[in-house]
Amino acid sequence: MPFTANELASISNGVLDFHIRGQAMSQTIQDRPLLDAMLKNQKTFGTSKEFITGPVKGDPTTTIMGYTHDDVVSYANPANLKRWSYKWYEIHAGISLTGTELKQSGISVVDSTTGAKTSQHSDSEMALLVNLLDDKVDDMMDGWARGMNNMFWRDGSQDAKVSPGILAFILDAPTVGVTGGLDRAQNTWWRNRAALAVASNSSTWSAQPLARKLQQEFRQVRRFGGKPKFFPAGSDFLDALEMELRTNGTFTQDGWNKSGKIDLSVSDMSFKGVNLFYDPTLDDLGLAKYAYLLDLKNIKPYVMEGEDRKMHTPARPADQYVYYRAMTWTGGMVVDKLNSNEVFSIA
């Protein structure tokens, strides 16, 4: 005999839902290869009033000349030194939470001044699904990483108080503008390379215009001693390069059949030993058709000594039981050589 409506209601009221415990599974964390590379590659500097500076020079003044017997020869007095300069910035990420929220989460504050020390109630695990304090700190750390990654990519126009990133230095129009205080128009050696709107569609894939352009440009970015080895790309750029490869095919020792299966995928690509890889941030910035070939010896953040990801537990206001956590970073992006870097895009 089937259950009546009242019996079903009674059963549902008496049964507890099963809730998975643990920290919330974030749904929007992406790979951040540029952030990882920048933090791994960053250098430190000491005290500085406002700027990080360094020397640079371009074409030499001295040249050769032929002579014989008592011919008059000339002497040069080189005066080519210039200095680039970049501002340093103070970056903050922080959270706040109240004592009430902590108590509701089964956590008591031991150090009432800063909230630096807490204790968890003995029976809180019976009721807690998520540790509220850990969740808020996780949010701060992920928010910091996301913000720093965007800062290292964007051109600084989004906020005058954050450091400009890659898009401020590796320009689509590299012959104009001022970078690090030096005029690109007057100093031809102070320019990145740019190969934009390369035709790559179904009518051109067989001719491999994108692969051929990469072949040509790799020579140029290495011309003055550059060794670019960091090659992030947007999804459309990688799609076009993969289609050029698929259209023309490749030779393998096993042909199309390996272990009785045909693998329809295209392997991760590289060019002259430099791996191309997908950076989701380029898609987020509307740059899915772009790729950046970067020499990270010459592009790196400088962080002030003792100020790299510095943790803070500020004292609470005397009249509020509100507690704070924060992390700060003090530094700026520095580029001391532009002609070993290049921006690519497809039409």
Q: Cβ contacts of residue 235 below 8 Å, gap of 6+?
A: 278, 282, 283, 288
Q: How far is CA 63 from CA 30, 76, 169, 184, 294, in A?
A: 53, 8, 31, 24, 32
93-118 core/surface letters (b: 16 or more CB in 10 A; e: else): bebebebebbeebbbebeeeeebeee
Phi, psi (deg, nearest 5) at residue 215: -60, -45
pLDDT of residue 127 exceeding 60: no
Q: What is the rounded CA–CA span in Å between residue 136 and residue 87?
A: 32
Q: pLDDT band at residue 235, thresholds of 50, 70 and 90?
A: very high
DSSP type of residue 196? E
State pLDDT tens for residues 296-342.
999 999 999 999 999 998 888 889 988 888 999 999 999 999 999 99
User: Residue 336: which of 308, 293, 295 has the closest Cα?
Assistant: 295
Return the minimum-mean-pLDDT range out of 84-93, 149-158, 307-316.
307-316
Percentage of the chain lying above the pLDDT 90 cut: 59
Q: What is the rounded CA–CA span in Å between residue 307 and residue 328?
A: 7
User: Residue 235: which of 295, 286, 196 has the closest Cα?
Assistant: 286
Work out the average pLDDT over 1-6.
61
Work out the average pLDDT over 45-57.
90
pLDDT for 302 equals 96
pLDDT for 259 equals 61
Tokens coding 280: 């989701």
pTM given for the model: 0.84
Q: What is the rounded CA–CA span in Å between residue 143 and residue 149?
A: 10
Sketch the domain layout of the chain as residue ranges: 32-45+83-251+264-346
Q: What is the rounded CA–CA span in Å between residue 99 and residue 81?
A: 58
Burial class (CB in 10 A: 0-12, 13-18, 19+), 325: buried
C-beta of residue 329 within 8 angstroms of C-beta of residue 181: no
